[in-house]
Structure 1
Amino acid sequence: MTVELREIEIFLVLAEELHFGRTAERLRVTPARVSQAIKKQERAIGAELFKRTSRSVQLTPIGAVLRDGLAAGYQQIKEALSAAAAAGRGVTGELDVAYSAAWCGTLVVAAADAFRARHPNCRVRIHESPLLDPLVPLRNGTHDIQLIELPIDEPDIVNGPVLFSEPRALVVPAGHPFAQQDTVSLEDLAESPLITVTGQPQYFLEHHYPRRTPKGRPIPRGPSTTAWQEVLALVAAGKGVSPTCARAAQYYSRPDVVYVPFHDAPLVDYGLLWAATNSTPTVHAFTESLLEEAARRSTPSRQ
């Protein structure tokens, strides 16, 4: 029998999603196209691959055997096609990827694993970007691509796609009155000195470390530093408070500080940057891997 690669893909995605509508959305085809492909395979095999009811879709035992047999081979075919396409586009050499926060680093590492499988002739090096002057490594060619907090608006830097957005929190000393609250407001920033960072563009600092609350109240300034661990040390010492991503509580937990979520602050966007002079096929190929990994992580798991 003859089965096209696209039909194999439809079968494998349906075997994972167990939902015709989600499969169609993921593959950007119509549900009718999914149904037609599955019926064609079932006719060729002579047995049902899925049990369908009005409430559920389940693999049959024969469908499970087919899934297990096809999955590894299909992945090898995809990797071979990607490697050939990469060679044709010049996706070779070395790529230096930087990230600004630990939760960005986990995404970059996972994407790098997928990228290496597709492009074995390209070596990927991963770095944490500096808090002080984070754009300098992009401009001098030390880093090729960077995942960082936005906004960044520079004429010589390309803004790639936003990969994800995160809620904000305020990190406060453990004994601070805010530490007893479930949430804080942007207006609460007027009540304590704000510990800030230096070495970032002024518009970036104004976005993340405003000088006034939404109602126009002045926000007092505390110490400023160039390192995140120093921010935490200053907060713990009672020198002030500092805004951050709420997820920092999972990565930088310590007994002398508390992360209190904002209930009215905009999300923090995390996006990709690269130098305008360095818009290479390799950079764009790695961007694709990051987008795929970010999309995979944002999709709720279905049991």
Structure 2
Amino acid sequence: MSNPEIRELEAFLALADELHFGRAGERLYLSQSRISQLLRALESRIGGRLVDRTSRRVRLTPLGEQLHAGLRPAFDAIVETIDGVREAARGVGGVFRIGFQGTANDPFMRAVTAFRDGHPDCAAEIVEIPLSDPFGAVLRGEVDAAVVLMPVRDDALVLGPVFSARPLTLAVSDRHPYARRPGIDAEDLAGCPLIGVSGAAPEYWRLAQAPAVTPGGRTIPAGPAVSSLQEGLALVRADRGGMLLCDPTADYYGSHAVAFVPVTGLPESSLALVWHRNHETARTRGFARALADVTGAAR
């Protein structure tokens, strides 16, 4: 029996990742029917079914799970080796542009340094991306990867290491009644308009940064919407509302006119590295490894 062709393996791995024939096809710029054809060819070579497909769901068979577990790391290693050799043949490492939201915190900068040390022929550039458009720069190809606030629910993006899970604080004017408290519960947010995020950020992401209701179902008043963190803090100082921030950001932007009050009862804030599913390179994977190593995040 002949060995599988590379395109069959690519189609299987894309389908294993997406569990959807249409999305697997989009990822490889192939039609859904072509993905099905490649899968059938691979199953014929192997001699068993790799995928169960119904009208509602796609899932790997036990044989498919076994193939995926062994094939994925080997395939990634091959792709990375080829990318590295191709870059060496060109004699240049290129430029790797990394976006970040808010502040370039210590773990992020240590990862950038580690990446530069491991890729001396690659120029790593860091770029601030707007609070109001967390994913746009990646989707438009303006940066190769970006560190953004969670959550991330875009099928075009790969979610890399998730790190820096920290409690939330409420930034309020030092004139606000909550400023004198040692802490508040999430239900207390019903008594403070929350400054939200405007612009191109998806609604689910904006609601995660400024929820409309408390965990108990009480309405949280909507405050002004801003496009940058600095603009939000200016409105906080003007007593136009409160703003939810993770405590490292609160420490970084500490101000005599702003109080940062710990909030209990809300999920922690986390950062994540994301990149475009169709634009992954060896440099992308190299930076993801550097970030995971520095932060201890799962790869």
Query: Is 1:139 matched up with 2:173?
Result: no
The answer for the alignment partner of 1:275 in structure 2 is 276
1:100–1:128: 8 Å Cα contact kept in structure 2?
yes
Shift of 1:85: 9.9
Shift of 1:230: 1.1
The answer for the alignment partner of 1:101 in structure 2 is 102
1:86–1:119: 8 Å Cα contact kept in structure 2?
no
Distance 2:151 2:86 in 1: 31
The answer for the alignment partner of 1:222 in structure 2 is 223
Unaligned runs of 5+ in 2: 1-80
Higher Cα Rg, which structure: 1
The answer for the alignment partner of 1:260 in structure 2 is 261
Shift of 1:277: 1.3
1:42-191 alignment, distance < 5 Å: 87-88=84-85, 90=87, 92-102=93-103, 104-191=104-191
Q: How many residues align?
A: 212
The answer for the alignment partner of 2:209 in structure 1 is 208
Q: Deviations over 1:77-128 (max 9, x none)?
A: xxxxxxx9984474821100011132x4432322122212211111100111
2:236–2:242: 8 Å Cα contact kept in structure 1?
yes
Q: Residue 265 of structure 2: SS of its match in structure 1?
A: coil
Q: After the TM superposition, list the runs of 4 or more consecutive aligned residues in structure 1 that deviate by more than 6 angstroms.
A: none
Which amino acid in 2 is paired with 1:259? F
1:98–1:127: 8 Å Cα contact kept in structure 2?
yes
Distance 1:196 1:136 in 2: 18
Which amino acid in 1 is paired with 2:250? A
Distance 1:174 1:259, change over 3 A: same
Distance 1:98 1:107 in 2: 14
The answer for the alignment partner of 1:69 in structure 2 is none
Which amino acid in 2 is paired with 1:264? G
Distance 1:245 1:270, change over 3 A: same
Distance 1:233 1:251 in 2: 15
Query: TM-score, with normalisation over the residues of structure 1?
Result: 0.66
2:193–2:241: 8 Å Cα contact kept in structure 1?
yes
Distance 1:273 1:100, change over 3 A: same
2:173–2:239: 8 Å Cα contact kept in structure 1?
yes
The answer for the alignment partner of 1:72 in structure 2 is none
Which amino acid in 2 is paired with 1:230? E
Distance 2:162 2:82 in 1: 25
1:90–1:281: 8 Å Cα contact kept in structure 2?
no
Which amino acid in 1 is paired with 2:229? W
Which amino acid in 2 is paired with 1:285? G
Which amino acid in 2 is paired with 1:274? W
Distance 2:292 2:102 in 1: 17
Shift of 1:249: 2.3
2:111–2:291: 8 Å Cα contact kept in structure 1?
yes
Distance 1:89 1:292 in 2: 25
1:93–1:121: 8 Å Cα contact kept in structure 2?
yes
The answer for the alignment partner of 1:59 in structure 2 is none
Q: Sequence identity, in percent?
A: 33
1:179–1:258: 8 Å Cα contact kept in structure 2?
yes
Distance 1:96 1:105, change over 3 A: farther
The answer for the alignment partner of 1:286 in structure 2 is 287
Q: Residue 262 of structure 1: SS of its match in structure 2?
A: strand
Distance 1:109 1:152, change over 3 A: same
Query: TM-score, with normalisation over the residues of structure 2?
Result: 0.67
2:84–2:282: 8 Å Cα contact kept in structure 1?
no
Distance 2:109 2:267 in 1: 27
Which amino acid in 2 is paired with 1:267? E
Unaligned runs of 5+ in 1: 1-83, 297-303
Which amino acid in 2 is paired with 1:203? Y
